[in-house]
Structure 1
Amino acid sequence: MSTPASGRPSYAAVLRVPYARRTFAAALVGRLSYGTVSIAVMLSVTRATGSYAVAGTVMALFGATSVLLSPSRAAFVDRYGPGRALRPMALIYGALLATLSAASWRPGAPAALLGALALAAGAFAPPLGPTMRAVWSGLIDDQRLLQRAFGLDGVVEELLFVSGPLLVGAVVRWAPPAAGVALSALLVVVGTVVFVSSPPVARARPSTVRRTRSPGRPRGARGLAQPVMVAAGVGLGIGALDLLVLAFVEERRYGDDVAAWVLAALSAGSAVGGLLNGAADWRTSARVRLPVLAAALGLTLAVAGLAPGLAVLTSAVACAGLFIAPALTTSYLIADESAPPGFRTRAGAWVNTAVNAGSSAGSAAVGVLLGRLPLGVCFALSGAATLAAAVLAGRPGLVRGARPHRPDPTEEGGEPSADGVLAAAAAEAGDECAGASSACPARPRRRRGRRR
């Protein structure tokens, strides 16, 4: 663990935590694959079959298994440890993507084969994001520093999903789109293998907590209700906004490339909001802030529909982005606090699943509404849906939430849990640098009544 000796913790202090830079960088390499794979698969399948309908179906199959099975894959990580669970997942996932790349390299590939490969690949996508957040929680003792770590993680992840399509765009200038799928396979395999070899991850042992009846559903589900609900509402707003911006641009005949710039403003706003949120010393609890952030996002989305022109719309979309990363980062923090030892990875995965499912539902719903209602009304309805999730999440019972779990480095039978070993690894690193430099992190102190 690492706790800043004095003063206000910074993002630089996060990266000075023992093993943090190596572990985080490896996880980001693997997670970049998720920024490249969707556009790469879409382009390669479209090129191979000549049909947008087939490409859309293949992407739907890939997304369905990737999203719906995410909590179950995270449960394997909690149950068997990151090394034993993530490495085979990444290898199988990478092999299936490589096979899909080979099958779609030239035109004429059978649509059924491409769909089957995408369906299977989605089932094995390794949950690197939830696992990395569980590692942060094991490495960092101070709550303010952990907030910075989650904020940094969320902002960089947002940038990965912006840079991923740009990277694929550069690849397809010199190679077939299927090369982008092959690149995605390479990124996830290399990133995951290096990630699980990092000392705090490699030393983590499987949790010895008894399995629940449902492997994907963590204990403490009452505490997860609020962050999952808000994440679904935020995802719904994001998914709806993508289509709404495209419809706005087409309605006013600005040109298809303009939509990309408007959505880039959304990502930029989200990155700025995430950095500001992570650096702030909040005096209110995360459960109180979360519904407020979601409500602000919903109201901004609704108001964006009143924009008279492109400049105002872009500004409104950027303002909406200011609340996206803070809402999601706060959701992950609450999920982490609510999870008992040995269930952290799947708690984060439930938030991930809620965001992705909400995004898919938002896109589907707005796709139906756009042909039946005025554009401004569609903006208002999408904002109202996010606002409704905020109102439901703000109920007193959910704001109070479940009581945070106290730290316990051992589980049943006296065996160290994955969380306990992560903490022990970080503590050992702190001992190694003791006396070597005044810049070394302070040795951890166990706080009474604190979970970490």
Structure 2
Amino acid sequence: MSSSSMAPSYAAVLRTRHACRTFGAALLGRLSYGMVSLSLVLAVKEATNSYAVAGTVMALFGLTSVFLSPARAGLIDRYGPRRALLPMATVYALLLTGLAFAASWSGSSAVLLGVLAMTAGASTPPLGPVMRALWSDLVPDKRLLQRAYSLDSVAEELLFVTGPLLVGLLVRVTVPSVGLAVSAALVLSGSLALTSSPAVRREGDRRRASAVSAPSQEPVHAAKPALLRRRPLQGRPGLGQAIAVSAGVGMCLGAFDLLVIAFADARHAPEAVAWVLAALSAGSAIGGLIYGAVPWRASSRLRLSCLAAALGLTLATTGLSPHPYALIAWAGLGGLFIAPALTTAYLIVDEAAGPANRIQAGAWVNTAFNAGSSGATAATGLAVGHLPLPMCFAVAAAPAILSAATAVNRSRPAALTAVLADRERTSEAAGQAPLSG
């Protein structure tokens, strides 16, 4: 049964042909990402007996993983998942295995661990963006696609909760470096299963068909105005806003994690930290499932603006909590907007990006979120102690609120592009010189 003939529901998404197999394979590989960070920190700390080295190695891994993500996704857009994703996952798994082996020896070289971590981060396969691009092919019905993206966002949220729990179980029975080896096995087996999926083979067939027909389209491409010949991620209505809001949400959440710890320390309630972060994740999962089930009439860009503003305002108010219990409640309320905001950003990417650069566009959203989160954590660490805690919460919420404004105000590029394209076609038909923008 085709997806277009199904009533929009989460069950219908999973009943779509090849959806369960493809999604399950991607989740298996992405579970590695929920485990690798904690495993890396614990393994390097045990090998070097230094938190400073562990933090530095983790930073090298994270920076290369985050900032090179669009480049890796661009390779998959260019060569296809079967030709690019599997070699990338194989290199990543081998480097993680080497890192696990090096970290299993007490007194291992910090330089060696840093080099291995940096090269592993540089080759991290972008399984999330690949899966979201495949959802667009598996579920062409827009009603189901919203649910598919919501399901994907909620599942990813749960993976990043489950991963550290699994690492905690592992370190009780074995050494932390085993967590790195398990992460390597997960990402390689998940990537193998994903690239063998019929959905990926079908995507490859379309790519080859597009390549065959490309020469006949070359004269049309050559006649496009300069505005339409920009780089793939430029001139796409909504895509810049999706990236900006993703960065704003990431900054907001990265700062929030540290502020929760400061709040709990100030009230001598360190046990509240786990409950606050759990409430935030639970709220995100619930909000994502509810959001995906609603047939929205408002445009994706307006919804994204409202969700970012609601998240920022809620978390700003959280700083006024008089008691940890109130903080837990506010965090749960704020979490309701996280998965919906990211889901909407990915929907905008699907609408704005063409098939030739969809994976790379999704990777930019991921990169913006992760980079924003990391940068805000560092900046918040400097602010805590110099500003009152409620003001720190308000400042931390500002990026999400400001990014909401950018999502509303920039609707002109799409219309401008269309107008210039129409003028170009009219001028060429009349035998006139092309009009400049």
Which of the five TM-score ranges fits, normalised by the shorter chain?
Answer: 0.7 to 0.9
CA contact (8 A) 1:235 1:358 kept: yes
Residues 287, 152 of structure 1: alpha-carbon distance in 2 compared, 3 angstrom cutoff: same
The CA deviation string for residues 126-176 of structure 1, in whole angstroms up to 9 with x for no partner, is 010000011110111211101010110110010000000000000000011
Q: Give yes or no for the alignment of 1:266 onto 2:280.
A: yes
Q: Percent identity?
A: 56
TM-score calculated relative to the size of structure 2: 0.88
Q: Spell out structure 1 runs of 4+ moving beyond 2 A.
A: 1-6, 202-211, 214-223, 396-404
CA distance in 1, matches of 2:412, 2:338: 20
The residue aligned with 1:376 is: 390
Residues 197, 398 of structure 1: alpha-carbon distance in 2 compared, 3 angstrom cutoff: farther
CA distance in 2, matches of 1:10, 1:348: 24
The CA deviation string for residues 86-130 of structure 1, in whole angstroms up to 9 with x for no partner, is 100000000000000011113211111110000000011001000
Q: Give yes or no for the alignment of 1:198 onto 2:197.
A: yes
CA distance in 2, matches of 1:258, 1:15: 37
**Matching residue's letter, 2:158:** L
Residues 74, 398 of structure 1: alpha-carbon distance in 2 compared, 3 angstrom cutoff: farther
Tell me the secondary structure at the aligned position of residue 394 of structure 2: helix
CA distance in 2, matches of 1:98, 1:261: 34
Q: Which moved more, 1:382-391 or 1:218-227?
A: 218-227
Residues 137, 280 of structure 1: alpha-carbon distance in 2 compared, 3 angstrom cutoff: same
Specify every segment of 5 or more residues in structure 1 that has no aligned partner in the other structure, as ranges.
405-452
The CA deviation string for residues 280-301 of structure 1, in whole angstroms up to 9 with x for no partner, is 0101111111010000000011
Q: 2:264 aligns with which of 249, 258, 275?
A: 249
- Count, aligned residues: 401
**Matching residue's letter, 2:133:** A
TM-score calculated relative to the size of structure 1: 0.85
Residues 262, 92 of structure 1: alpha-carbon distance in 2 compared, 3 angstrom cutoff: same
The residue aligned with 1:230 is: 245
CA distance in 2, matches of 1:95, 1:85: 16
CA distance in 2, matches of 1:293, 1:391: 11
Residues 401, 76 of structure 1: alpha-carbon distance in 2 compared, 3 angstrom cutoff: farther
CA distance in 2, matches of 1:20, 1:118: 33
**Matching residue's letter, 1:30:** G
Query: Equivalent residues in 2 for 1:86-97 (5 A)?
Result: 86-97=85-96
**Matching residue's letter, 1:350:** W
Q: Which moved more, 1:270-279 or 1:245-254?
A: 245-254
The residue aligned with 1:413 is: none
Q: 2:358 aligns with which of 329, 344, 350?
A: 344
Q: CA deviation at 1:392?
A: 2.1
Structure number with the higher helix fraction is 2
Residues 235, 216 of structure 1: alpha-carbon distance in 2 compared, 3 angstrom cutoff: farther
CA distance in 1, matches of 2:415, 2:160: 32
CA contact (8 A) 2:3 2:12 kept: no
CA contact (8 A) 1:14 1:20 kept: yes
CA contact (8 A) 1:225 1:398 kept: no
Residues 387, 377 of structure 1: alpha-carbon distance in 2 compared, 3 angstrom cutoff: same
CA contact (8 A) 1:287 1:399 kept: no
Q: Over alpha carbons, which structure has the higher Rg?
A: 2
Larger RCO (alpha carbons 8 Å, 6+ apart): 1
The residue aligned with 1:2 is: 2
The residue aligned with 1:66 is: 65
**Matching residue's letter, 2:361:** A
The CA deviation string for residues 338-396 of structure 1, in whole angstroms up to 9 with x for no partner, is 01121111111111111001101110110110121111110010112211111222214
Tell me the secondary structure at the aligned position of residue 107 of structure 1: coil
Query: Equivalent residues in 2 for 1:51-450 (5 A)?
Result: 51-205=50-204, 206=207, 208=211, 218=233, 220-255=235-270, 257-397=271-411
The alignment yields a C-alpha RMSD, in angstroms, of 2.2
The residue aligned with 2:421 is: none
Residues 401, 135 of structure 1: alpha-carbon distance in 2 compared, 3 angstrom cutoff: farther
CA contact (8 A) 2:235 2:413 kept: no
CA contact (8 A) 1:298 1:383 kept: yes
CA distance in 1, matches of 2:412, 2:166: 41
Q: CA deviation at 1:204?
A: 2.6
Residues 174, 361 of structure 1: alpha-carbon distance in 2 compared, 3 angstrom cutoff: same
